[in-house]
Amino acid sequence: MSKSKSALLSGAPACSQLHQIPAEQSSAQPDGVALWWQGNAVNYATLNHNVQAAAVRLAAQGKPGERIAILSWNCPEFVELLYAVPASGRVMVPLNARLAAAELLYQLQSSGAATLFADPDLLALLLAHADFPSRVNVILLNGDYIDWRQSARTADLPLTKPEDPVWILFTSGSTGRPKGAVLTHRSFMAGLQSAALARPVEPGDKFYYPFPLFHVAAHNVLLQHLYGAAVVLARSFDATDTIAACRELNVTTMSLAPTMIALLLDHPEFHPTDLHSVRTIGYGASAMPQSLLQRLLADTDVGLCQSYGMTELSGSVAFLTVADHRLAAREKPHLLQSVGKPLPTAQLKLLDDNGATCATGEPGEILVQAHQCMDGYWNDSAATANALNHDWLHTGDIGRFDEEGYLYIVDRKKDMIISGGENIASREVEEVLRQHSAVKDCAVIGLADADWGECVCAVIKPDGVISDRELSDHCRRFLAGYKTPKHWFRVEDLPLNAAGKVDKPLLRRQYEAQSS
């Protein structure tokens, strides 16, 4: 570890639990800005006051360990609950606001959530569903939330420990139904330590965050607060709003997907000077196109940083640094296909199908051993045993190391599609399609997409005549829009490999040209 990084880490508050972060910063710099929201600043004293008020209010209802769900787009109340729920000894269940009602209800029921904080518009979709559990206590994230938080009904906060769970975050399970990854105070704080090594936070930083708070990417918000920086929170990504934030607030760091970067640079109002204050942009989920990198570096002084991680890792364990990106732009473009080098906070190894360690250049499944690994899957001992074996997390990703120690993702052992940063399990979509009487068999694959990295495509063996529109409508009754196939192909029979399974690599090669 370099001297500067070591000094930075030592300067962080000695927090072992998430809810200690705003309390520490409120004591150290009460007037320091914690959050910018729609042009208004919220200081650390106010944030901590609201966190404590919500925490003691939660402590007065139910028991420690209860699950508290939240269904909302980004807003200050969401940030408050990130800290207040664990402070009350409860476990947060962030729900993906893009999911269909049936998917959300499954996660509500699977987690056994006792309380749901909800955006009124998003809640209306759930309440219209006959299966909405009546036992769930609903609190609207509007004036009702403020009244609830200010209620006189309070209780002392329970004693919490670093090993206590704080989040149950549902992942797209390769076996169909999503699984709830259980993240703890310890795993989150370890994830923040890793992130600080690769994306150091400097005094006076203003971090622009347009990703949803219901993703594990929200650890970036916690990282900024750990070091006393300000978070410029966007409800969601919008290029016009991003330009305005950079111009008006002199944003210093950002998280943007490559697609977002392209939309920003292509915006008619954008000028390279809009990024004059931006030191680094962090991205993940998909690779950076060489042309986009060259364009950004030619017009600005912005540094880029890519990471490799997942929900089960409470963040990331490998980073392609700013220096790596500049090297890629000058003389080593192949580095852009890499996800960087592992951090000293995590051990990574590759195993072949026989369980032997892979030699340099040979592909194998990526295993990770680190304090930031999840505690397991909620109420799923079999899936936990498969994923966590002798303290090693089996990621399901196939990677290889080159001679310089850079990690490359070769394939995904899990049948997963990544579109716009969202993980989509092929089997989940296939199971929904097979429920339709006109679908005899099907295979769902991911094909390259210029905007989203991959798009979901379905190869159908039909039983009768059915239109693309009918198939799409069927999927949308059970699945989020981003999981619904964008291209439909029909075949008389699905090709099989030597093992008798559908030959998806062949299907990808066959239909790649047709989807473009």
Give 219-232 pLDDT, tens digit per residue. Answer: 999 999 999 999 99
Using 50, 70 and 90 to split pLDDT, how confident is the model at 286? low
Tokens 């509500």 found at: 108
Stretch 422-442: mean pLDDT, rounded?
Answer: 86
Q: What is the pLDDT of residue 501?
A: 67
Q: What is the pLDDT of residue 45?
A: 98
Using 50, 70 and 90 to split pLDDT, how confident is the model at 497? low
Using 50, 70 and 90 to split pLDDT, how confident is the model at 211? very high
Alpha-carbon gap, residue 440 to 462, rounded angstroms: 5
Q: Return the domain boundaries, the chain.
A: 18-160, 416-515
Read out DSSP for 215-265? SGGGHHHHHHHHTT-EEEE-SS--HHHHHHHHHHH---EEE--HHHHHHHH
Q: What is the pLDDT of residue 3?
A: 36
Q: What is the pLDDT of residue 4?
A: 37
Alpha-carbon gap, residue 24 to 28, rounded angstroms: 6
Of the two residues 468 and 463, the one the predictor is more confident about is: 468
Stretch 197-203: mean pLDDT, rounded?
Answer: 94
Contact of 357 with 339, CB cutoff 8 Å: no
Contact of 304 with 322, CB cutoff 8 Å: yes
With b meaning 16 or more CB within 10 Å and e meaning fewer, what string describes 25-61? bbeeeeebbbbbbeeeebbbbbbbebbbbbbbbbbeb
Q: What is the pLDDT of residue 175?
A: 53
Q: What is the pLDDT of residue 305?
A: 95
Residue 11's Cβ-side half-sphere holds a number of Cα atoms within 13 Å equal to 18
Tell me phi and psi for residue 389, to 5 degrees: -130, 115
Q: What is the pLDDT of residue 516?
A: 55
Alpha-carbon gap, residue 37 to 133, rounded angstroms: 33
Q: What is the pLDDT of residue 290?
A: 79
pLDDT over 80 (residue 342): yes
Give 133-176 pLDDT, tens digit per residue. Answer: 888 999 999 989 999 999 989 999 999 999 999 999 998 655 56
Q: What is the pLDDT of residue 2?
A: 37
Tell me whether strands 347-351 and 338-342 are parallel, antiparallel or unpaired: unpaired
CATH of region 416-515: 3.30.300.30
Tell me phi and psi for residue 183, to 5 degrees: -105, 140
pLDDT over 70 (residue 9): no
Alpha-carbon gap, residue 447 to 508, rounded angstroms: 7
β-pair partners for 445: 457
Using 50, 70 and 90 to split pLDDT, how confident is the model at 1? very low
% of the chain with per-residue pLDDT over 90? 72
**How is domain 18-160 classified at the CATH fold level?**
Rossmann fold (3.40.50)
The mean-pLDDT minimum among 37-51, 240-254, 446-460 falls in: 446-460
pLDDT over 50 (residue 19): yes
With b meaning 16 or more CB within 10 Å and e meaning fewer, what string describes 370-382? bbbbbbbbbebee
Contact of 181 with 312, CB cutoff 8 Å: yes
Nearest to 115 by CA among 61, 54, 182: 61
3-state secondary structure 2-55: CHHHHHHHHCCCCCCCCCHHHHHHHHHCCCCEEEEECCEEEEHHHHHHHHHHHH
Q: How far apart are the first and last CA of the chain?
A: 45
Alpha-carbon gap, residue 339 to 428, rounded angstroms: 27
Domains 18-160 and 416-515 belong to one CATH topology: no
Of the two residues 113 and 5, the one the predictor is more confident about is: 113
Q: What is the pLDDT of residue 10?
A: 45
Q: What is the pLDDT of residue 289?
A: 75
Give 379-408 pLDDT, tens digit per residue. Answer: 999 999 999 998 999 999 889 999 999 999
Nearest to 495 by CA among 475, 510, 513: 510
Of the two residues 413 and 171, the one the predictor is more confident about is: 171
The pTM (predicted TM-score) of the whole model is: 0.84
Of the two residues 496 and 247, the one the predictor is more confident about is: 247
% of the chain with per-residue pLDDT over 70? 94
